[in-house]
Amino acid sequence: MTDADATAVVDCYQDLRDRLIHAGVLIGSTVKGLYGKGAAFVHVFDGLDALVTEAGQVDQPELMRFPPLLPREHFVRTDYVRSFPDLIGSVHSFLGGDREHAALLQTLADDGPWSTELDPTELVLVPAACYPIYPTISGILPRGGRTFDVLGSCFRHEGSDDPARMMTFHQHEFVHVGTPESALAFRNRWLERSQILMKSIGLDVADEVANDPFFGRAGRMLAANQRGDALKFEVVATVANPEKSTAIVSCNCHQDHLTIPFGINTHDGGVAHSACVGFGMERIVLALFARHGMDLELWPREYRSRLGV
Amino acid sequence: MTDADATAVVDCYQDLRDRLIHAGVLIGSTVKGLYGKGAAFVHVFDGLDALVTEAGQVDQPELMRFPPLLPREHFVRTDYVRSFPDLIGSVHSFLGGDREHAALLQTLADDGPWSTELDPTELVLVPAACYPIYPTISGILPRGGRTFDVLGSCFRHEGSDDPARMMTFHQHEFVHVGTPESALAFRNRWLERSQILMKSIGLDVADEVANDPFFGRAGRMLAANQRGDALKFEVVATVANPEKSTAIVSCNCHQDHLTIPFGINTHDGGVAHSACVGFGMERIVLALFARHGMDLELWPREYRSRLGV
């Protein structure tokens, strides 16, 4: 990419960001990638969420909701620290007494690095909505496996000019844990279903093999393996950048990456596999505003009706 | 309190916690104060949220939603680090390169304190749902002030046996920023309105002057001042402990504590005051299960109908 191309990309991000904020769809903050949402955004989000929930009923999923935080001891059983250390959100707090508190306040008053005086807690921010499920289902699955409906707030520490790359965002996921065959079939069904759903609200979508941002030198090999295995697909649409589409849904077969660490087995004692479809809720909402315009009243009637806005 | 009394309190917390988890209303975790929620909890939460939203329409609030994280630079402009350092959630991440990553992975493999190798980010967890509003409204208010509807995920680092004292929870708040008179009147109206709402779903409630857990020796004075000023009230109900009621709604006049740090003035150039009513959503839902029982089907028809469950 030349410097001029890079500038053009940043410009198209800032253009969409400015239009969203001007229209009150998003509320800006002083931190890149951190936004509040206005009424129009919230109404579209809620309408979309209802459509996603409805689309998932065919699998009769178990409804679960988890907080934005996860026990650290579970987090470290996954590959996350190896693969995406730069995206981690570790929660630290003040564990001292009066004396240490006085010192903390002095550091703060001196405009010093007060946060480094804090200590790690037993919690980290959830990086993907399905992570909290696996520790709760250790053991033997029923015949046919289990399927879950989760919606959660996720965190990835990546400030970006692109309004579609938020540091905190919601994933609405359906997750299946069962045999290797049932997990793969689940991912494949949702790769089709999710595109039908996205087209029904007026988005032009396609699917492609995922390309996750694995960290560092070793990460280049992990990324190549991911592409080679074709275990994770993304449904993409145009949001800010007409030259480069944005992943709005992911359909991922984790094989045994999450079932072995949490000791999850099939009914006949084999190692279970898991798969999920994750709807990137904020990204889909932004794709809709980018596609249909900043004024909800001017959206095509068909899509407003589908979304109930 | 005698040792026997303290044991009895812990017992009543654990008894409610066990019943909630057994019924699938809550999903336990390995960290005290961190819970997932099952379908029955989610349906009651959603029904309650609709009732709260409806009750707020009389003030025609501006709808805003914020993520669970706040810019650190805004957080430190409030009194939080002085008053509640032990409840803080500061977000730290990995900011190094390949070499530091290799060291981090080695520490992790050695079961060492890997989290202390992380660095503070520009973000902290939101302690109360209204905090993110104030930085966005710096400047002059319109005549009549502004009123907001926010629902957000909040964090307080306090592991507890009491299921009603979660580390992450939702507050649905209505916030008014205006003159000293309009702020105080707003708080007083909601102290009455919120109790009517809670009674309409079958909760026996009362109001009392709030008693926040200010930190340390200096905190004892802050707590005494808070009680003396009678600026913050709580609506309380019985959840786990029949001997000690739990705050489920708070009605708080902040005076200029949040408007001065963020430079918010009234239309005529005076210092604005702010006030809020905060519905502690998880606590209200748990109060309902404690009151009406673990089986939604057996709840009085009147309350099921009100809540749409």
Residue (of B44, B254, B59) closest to B170 by Cα position: B44
B90:A92 CB<8 A: yes
- Interatomic CA distance for residues A114 and A104, integer angstroms: 6
CB contact under 8 A, A36 and B153: no
Res. A10: pLDDT tops 90: no
Residues paired with residue A271 on neighbouring β-strands, in sequence order: A265
| Minimal CA separation from B140 to chain A, in Å | 18
| Minimum Cα–Cα distance from A45: chain B residue | B65
pLDDT tens for A131-159 read: 999 999 999 999 999 999 999 999 999 98
Interface touch B88/A118, C-beta < 8 Å: yes
For the cut 90, the answer to whether the pLDDT of residue A5 exceeds it is no
Domains of chain B: which residue ranges? 3-88+127-307, 97-123
Q: Is B30 touching A (CB cutoff 8 A)?
A: yes
Query: Which residues 85-124 of A are in CB contact (within 8 Å) with B?
Result: 85-98, 101, 104-105, 108, 113-116, 118-123
Closest Cα in chain B, distance from residue A308 (Å):
16
CA distance to partner chain B, nearest, from residue A26 (Å): 9
pLDDT of residue B187: 97
Question: Taking CB atoms and an 8 Å cutoff, what residues of chain A touch B167?
Answer: 67, 69, 123
**B20 in helix, strand or coil?**
helix
Q: Which residues of chain A are within 8 Å of residue B168 when distances are taken between CB atoms? A: 67-69
Per-residue pLDDT, B1 = 66
Region A82-100: mean pLDDT is 97
Mean pLDDT of chain A: 96
Q: Would you state the pLDDT for residue A22?
A: 98
Residue % of chain B over a pLDDT of 90: 90
Instruction: Kindly report whether the global pTM for this prediction surpasses the value 0.90.
Output: yes
The DSSP annotation for B147-210 comes to: EEEEEEEEE-----S-TTS-SEEEEEEEEEEE-HHHHHHHHHHHHHHHHHHHHTTT---EEEE-
| Beta-carbon count within 10 A of B288 CB | 27
Among the partner-chain residues A29, A31, A63, the one whose CB lies closest to the CB of B38 is: A63
A64-72 average pLDDT score: 98
pLDDT of residue B263: 97
State which residue of chain B sits closest to A219, comparing Cα positions.
Answer: B98
d(CA B234, CA B247): 6
Residue range A23-52: average pLDDT? 98
A88 has pLDDT over 90:
yes
pLDDT of residue B163: 96
Q: Give the residue ranges of DSSP H helices in A29-97.
A: 39-56, 72-75, 80-83
If you count DSSP H runs as helices and E runs as strands, how many of each does chain B have, helices first? 10, 14
Query: How far apart (Å, rounded) are the C-alpha atoms in residues A305 and B290?
Result: 40
Distance (Å, whole) CA A193 – CA A52: 10
Q: Look at residue A287 and give its three-state secondary structure.
A: helix
Q: Are A116 and A94 in contact (CB under 8 A)?
A: no
A31 closest CB neighbour out of B36, B123, B125: B123
- Name the CATH superfamily housing domain A3-88+127-307: Bira Bifunctional Protein; Domain 2 (3.30.930.10)
Say yes or no: A41 contacts chain B, CB-CB below 8 A: yes
- Among A82, A85, A153, beta carbon nearest to B68: A153
Interface of A with B in 167-186 (CB under 8 A): 167-168
Our CA-based measurement puts residue B267 at a distance from the nearest CA of chain A, in whole angstroms, of 22
- Specify burial of residue A5 (Cβ count, 10 A radius: 0-12, 13-18, 19+): exposed
Cβ atoms of A265 and A238 closer than 8 Å: no
> For chain B, which ranges sit under pLDDT 70?
1
* Confidence at residue B229, expressed as pLDDT on a 0 to 100 scale: 87
- Subunit contact B68:A66, Cβ cutoff 8 A: no
What is the pLDDT, as a whole number, of residue B8? 81
Phi/psi for A76 (5° steps) reads: -75, -10
Name the B residues in 230-289 with CB < 8 Å from any A CB: none
Q: In chain B, which residue's Cα lies nearest the Cα of A37?
A: B65
Query: Inter-chain contact A69–B215, Cβ cutoff 8 Å?
Result: no
User: A274 exposed, middle or buried (CB, 10 Å; 0-12, 13-18, 19+)?
Assistant: buried
Chain B residues in contact with A35 (beta carbon < 8 A): 67
- Give me the pLDDT at residue A6, please: 79
Does the distance separating the beta carbons of A29 and B98 come in below 8 Å?
no
Range from A7-16, A62-71, A268-277 carrying the lowest mean pLDDT: A7-16
